[in-house]
Amino acid sequence: MKKICETVGFLVFVQGAAGLLHEWLDWFGFLSVVRRLPFFGDYALFACIVLVVTGAAIMIASDSVKE
């Protein structure tokens, strides 16, 4: 269960980081899921920041999960 939480947290973090890189530097456009979802609209940058923070929180919280 701990590895699953770490993997999910890492994937969420990577999606957020890729979205931020795409918003700021126009890199990793192929990797970002947020830009493909039309309902985010003008809030894509905020959504990417939330994904980065959420991914980091999931990875930190996975340390408290027992095997």
* pLDDT tens digits, 11-28: 999 999 998 988 888 877
- Residue 63 pLDDT: 87
- Residue 34 pLDDT: 83
Contact 61, 5 (CB under 8 A): yes
- Residue 66 pLDDT: 74
Handedness of CA 36, 40, 44, 46 (dihedral sign): negative
- The residue ranking higher by pLDDT, 56 or 26, is 56
List the domain range (segments joined by +) for residue 22: 2-64
The domain tally of the chain equals 1
- Residue 26 pLDDT: 83
Phi, psi dihedrals of residue 66, rounded to the nearest 5°: -90, 150
Neighbour count for residue 12 (Cβ, 10 Å):
20
- Residue 52 pLDDT class (50, 70, 90 cuts): very high
Rounded to two decimals, the pTM is 0.85
Tell me how far apart the alpha carbons of residues 63 and 15 are, in angstroms, rounded to a whole number: 21
